[in-house]
Amino acid sequence: MTIVLVGFMGAGKTTIGKRLAQVLDKPFIDLDSYIVEKDGRSIAEIFKTEGQEKFRQIEVCALKECLSQDAVLATGGGVIETPENIHMLKMNQVNIWLDTDIQELYSRITDDESRPNANGRTFLQIKELYNRRVSRYNEIAFMQVDSSRCVDDCVREIMDSLA
């Protein structure tokens, strides 16, 4: 079974995913890192040289490959931008939506050059993107976790609901 973490940029998918994988004794996969390793370029470089659309195509293939793993998988915040990914994720039993308030998310991602969809954007632009995505995270999620709390609290809540 793949335990998939979804949520906006800065929600803590990688940090919480790593800890959850340790606790569950499962491998941890970060979808962006998986893409970078296979492609040989950073996410920012792929966006810059090939555009977001091409990145989304690469992301679809990577998600397909990773969803067959018995692992904890942290996805990129825009994974729900692609209908094919939403379809694949709906077939997956355990998708956990990590979420915290937009002000907190913004402070975690602002001016992060490794995040092309956050870098150089104003608070209002980020908020608009977040608002557009919320219903999609909600649509595929088995549970929503308030990730403004410490990592251990989030992992404990997830473990309780998996028990």
Binding-site members for substrate are 32, 56, 77, 133
Residue closer to ligand S3P by CB (options 24, 121) is: 121
Query: Which residues contact ligand S3P by CB under 6 A?
Result: 9, 13, 32, 43, 76-78, 115-117
DSSP label of 149: S
Residue closer to ligand S3P by CB (options 115, 136) is: 115
Residue closer to ligand S3P by CB (options 33, 160) is: 33
Smallest gap, in angstroms, from Cβ of residue 8 to ligand S3P?
A: 7
Smallest gap, in angstroms, from Cβ of residue 84 to ligand S3P?
A: 15
Binding residues for Mg(2+), by number, are 14
Residue closer to ligand S3P by CB (options 49, 160) is: 49
Residue closer to ligand S3P by CB (options 96, 116) is: 116
d(CA 32, CA 148): 22
Smallest gap, in angstroms, from Cβ of residue 94 to ligand S3P?
A: 19
Enumerate the β-bridge partners of residue 143. Answer: 96
User: CB–CB of 23/72 below 8 Å?
Assistant: no
Which residue, judged by CB position, is nearest to ligand S3P in the bound state? 76
d(CA 49, CA 114): 14
Binding residues, by number, are 10-15, 32, 56, 77, 115, 133, 149
45-60: b (≥16 Cβ within 10 Å) or e: ebbeeeeeeebbeebb
Apex CA 21: angle with CA 15 and CA 27, to 5°? Answer: 115
Binding residues for ATP, by number, are 10-15, 115, 149
Smallest gap, in angstroms, from Cβ of residue 154 to ligand S3P?
A: 16
Q: For residue 54, which phi and psi values (nearest 5 degrees)?
A: -65, -40
d(CA 83, CA 104): 28
